[in-house]
Amino acid sequence: MTHLLRKILTVIMATSLLSSAPAAVSAAERASWTVLLRPTDFVVGDALGQLNTRRQWITGFDERSGVFEIALRRKAIAISAPRCRMDYLILTIPVYYPENPKQASVRERRVVYDALVALQAKGKGSATVGVEAPEPLSRLGKRGIELVACNLYFAFPISVQVSTQ
């Protein structure tokens, strides 16, 4: 009888632990968003080096890897990130790997970077950008999908549309 009781208690404890753990984001609930960015909603290029954060930002475009970063003002973006302790979310375009079919060439990345720099320099217009957070960086929280940290990535295939109005 004590053996059966132990099994029942073990099952109850395991069920309790699993039900209180944060849920992973399922494939059906992929952590992806389309965000509208106005020039005051983000910081890109050399201006990243002047942000008052502890983070060492990538302040330009890396011609070899196609990598660049953008600081998104959290107040301007409707993406929950309760554990992020900065005023910005980090939007990164991952390193270019030619053997990975789901990505953009360095030339395509450069066009996106230049368009965002120009948008911010002009101070008017907007950009619609597809972003995502891979499974380890997102979870299903109390209010829906949320970021575990401050990190987001450009979604591939790359989807950035700039409007000058």
Quote the CA–CA distance of 102 and 84 in Å, as a whole number. Answer: 28
pLDDT at residue number 13: 40
Range of the domain at 98: 2-163
Give the number of domains in the chain.
1
Q: What is the DSSP string of the chain?
A: -HHHHHHHHHHHHHHHHHHHSPBPPPGGG--EEEEEE-GGGEEEGGGGGGS-SSS----S--TTT--EEEEEEGGGS----TT--SSEEEEEEPPP-TT-SSS--HHHHHHHHHHHHHHHHHT--EEEEEEE--GGGEEEETTEEEESSSEEEE-TTT-EEEE--
pLDDT at residue number 8: 42
pLDDT at residue number 29: 54
Please state whether the predicted TM-score (pTM) of the whole model is above 0.85: no
pLDDT at residue number 96: 76
pLDDT at residue number 40: 95
pLDDT at residue number 57: 95
pLDDT at residue number 27: 43
Block mean pLDDT (10 aa), the chain, length 165: 45 36 48 93 94 92 93 94 94 82 86 94 93 89 90 86 83
